[in-house]
């Protein structure tokens, strides 16, 4: 049975606020283990001055639009073509029944505005700071960059289809979809010289488009 977090928009808003811990907890751990100031740990996750801000903003918005228009094709490819053929259509149907739905149900205008703002200032920046700014930066000091991107994308996928909350069929059905987006966001992060701006904006804008359209 699907987990519908959007049934009460206020609960969804409250849960979204908890994503700030994606920045606070890793920064605290880094400051303690590496014996550096908390502020420097935050900066190390990607929150520092950036050059070419305009280009990065426009690029992020463009990638967000691309993700939005090609997202359904990515789902269809992995869900129907890959998983549907390897397993069965019944397997895919079971997978879809166990998804976590975060789409708000009949939000009022105030709730919708708050949700959009949180997508922009909390969800995109916080998730990208952890999965890209923290994980990739830490992993690439020990592993090859390619492995760092793959591991980061796997963690990103697990977060969105947590095996302790959703059935195995759901994890398998949607693994390729979330992994692909995680990997694309990671590549954007690396391409723009480890800047959080374009990948955060792409992530946030993609979510906002799904929310509004």
Residue pLDDT, tens place only, 26-82: 999 999 999 999 999 998 888 877 888 999 999 999 999 999 999 999 999 999 999
Residue 176 has pLDDT above 80, yes or no: yes
Residue 2 has pLDDT above 80, yes or no: no
- CA 29, CA 51: separation in Å to the nearest integer? 28
Residue 134 has pLDDT above 80, yes or no: yes
Residue pLDDT, tens place only, 46-60: 887 788 899 999 999
- CA 123, CA 29: separation in Å to the nearest integer? 21
Residue 201 has pLDDT above 90, yes or no: yes
Strand 100-101 with 3-4, pairing: parallel
Residue 1 has pLDDT above 80, yes or no: no
Residue pLDDT, tens place only, 8-20: 999 999 999 999 9
* Domain-wise residue ranges, the chain: 3-36+53-212
Among 16-25, 49-58, 194-203, the minimum mean pLDDT is found in 49-58
- Confidence label for 4 from pLDDT (cuts 50, 70 and 90): confident
Q: According to the model, what pLDDT value does residue 50 have? A: 80
Residue pLDDT, tens place only, 89-106: 999 999 999 998 888 888
User: Quick one: which of 150, 4, 176, 168 has its CA closest to 75?
Assistant: 176
What percentage of the chain has pLDDT greater than the value 70?
A: 99
- CA 186, CA 148: separation in Å to the nearest integer? 9
- CA 11, CA 8: separation in Å to the nearest integer? 5
Q: Which residues of 62-78 are buried (b: 16+ CB within 10 A; e: fewer)?
A: ebbeebbeebeebbeeb
Residue 152 has pLDDT above 80, yes or no: yes
In sign, the C-alpha dihedral spanning 207, 210, 211, 213 is positive
Q: What's the mean pLDDT when you consider all of the chain?
A: 94
């Amino acid at each position: 049975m699907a987990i519908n977090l959007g049934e009460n928009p206020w609960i969804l808003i409250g849960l979204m606020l908890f994503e700030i811990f994606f920045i606070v907890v890793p920064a605290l751990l880094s400051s303690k283990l590496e014996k550096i100031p908390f502020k420097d740990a935050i900066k190390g996750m990607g929150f520092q001055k950036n050059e070419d801000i305009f280009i990065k903003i426009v690029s992020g918005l463009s990638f967000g639009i691309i993700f939005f228009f090609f997202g359904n094709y990515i789902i269809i490819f992995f869900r129907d073509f890959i998983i549907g053929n390897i397993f069965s259509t019944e397997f895919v149907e079971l997978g879809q029944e166990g998804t976590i739905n975060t789409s708000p149900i009949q939000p009022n205008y105030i709730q919708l505005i708050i949700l959009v703002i949180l997508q922009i200032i909390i969800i995109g920046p916080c998730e990208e700071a952890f999965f890209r700014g923290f994980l990739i930066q830490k992993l690439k000091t020990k592993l090859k960059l390619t492995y760092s991107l793959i591991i980061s994308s796997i963690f990103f996928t697990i977060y969105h289809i947590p095996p302790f909350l959703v059935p195995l069929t759901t994890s398998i059905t949607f693994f390729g979809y979330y992994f692909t987006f995680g990997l694309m966001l990671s590549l954007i992060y690396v391409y723009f010289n480890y800047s959080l701006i374009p990948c955060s904006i792409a992530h946030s804008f993609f979510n906002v488009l799904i929310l509004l359209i």
